[in-house]
Amino acid sequence: MTATITAFERSPDRGQGLARDMRVRWALEEAGQPYDVRLVSFRAMKQPAHLALHPFGQIPTYEEGDLTLFESGAIVLHIAERHAGLLPDEAKARARAIAWMFAALNTVEPPIVEHEMASYFERNQSWYATRLPMLEDRVRTRLDELSRRLGDAEWLDGAFSAADLLMVTVLRRLEGSGLLEAYPSLSAYVARGKARPAYGRAFAAQLAVFTGQPLAG
């Protein structure tokens, strides 16, 4: 059964693939699963029809038959549990990969989002210049720890998994800030993720929404 996901009709990132539908698209591409996309406006996201799918009026959502999911991490886990290629088969390795999925979303993403939100919404506030070094330090703490653990490894724990998929999308939110670029091993890790053919297909699909161009092929 082909799943339907929701995505921004007009993403504020202008097709950079930073909105969280990108994770779901990438997971579906890795799993080789076709999907439909329903584009929603900011207004429609807050209307009852969408709120019935997503209690917080956000994207992405995922509909598959009579199953509706929200939360990008839960959606990626659902896809990974049902299709080969995104989680190890061996039970302990699988549990560790899921732990890394939570780490990406619960431990690494929050300080990155906090830093990003401040730069969008607090830039003109009197306290911004005082607060920024603290926000940057919180991000650097996580990047220090993550780069130490990753070391020279290609992926977080053995083969590429849904954990890497989530971690790469989380780290991508720092691109251009100078913070990620200070960690060559993490920059290379993100580049490895972005070089995967499934990532390329997912990125092209979301970019096509912004450019209004149909996908080639």
Binding site for ligand GTB (CB under 6 A): 11-13, 18-20, 45, 57-60, 71-73
- Rounded CA separation 80/155 (Å): 17
- Rounded CA separation 163/100 (Å): 5
Q: How far is the CB of 87 from ligand GTB (least distance, A)?
A: 18
Q: How far is the CB of 76 from ligand GTB (least distance, A)?
A: 9
- Rounded CA separation 145/150 (Å): 9
Q: Helix, strand, coil proportions of the chain in percent (round to 5)?
A: 55, 10, 35
Give whichever of 31 and 73 is closer to ligand GTB, judged by the CB atom: 73
Give whichever of 45 and 186 is closer to ligand GTB, judged by the CB atom: 45
Assess contact for 31 and 90: CB atoms under 8 A.
no
Q: How far is the CB of 5 from ligand GTB (least distance, A)?
A: 11
Q: How far is the CB of 59 from ligand GTB (least distance, A)?
A: 4
Q: How far is the CB of 14 from ligand GTB (least distance, A)?
A: 8
Give whichever of 72 and 206 is closer to ligand GTB, judged by the CB atom: 72
Q: E strands within 67-208?
A: 67-70
Handedness of CA 10, 3, 46, 121 (dihedral sign): negative
96 phi, psi to nearest 5 deg: -65, -40
- Rounded CA separation 10/172 (Å): 20
Q: How far is the CB of 72 from ligand GTB (least distance, A)?
A: 4
Assess contact for 65 and 1: CB atoms under 8 A.
yes
Give whichever of 60 and 87 is closer to ligand GTB, judged by the CB atom: 60
Give whichever of 72 and 161 is closer to ligand GTB, judged by the CB atom: 72
Give whichever of 9 and 71 is closer to ligand GTB, judged by the CB atom: 71
Q: How far is the CB of 61 from ligand GTB (least distance, A)?
A: 9
Assess contact for 204 and 161: CB atoms under 8 A.
no
Assess contact for 9 and 66: CB atoms under 8 A.
no
Amino acid identity of residue 112, one-letter, is I
Give whichever of 45 and 174 is closer to ligand GTB, judged by the CB atom: 45
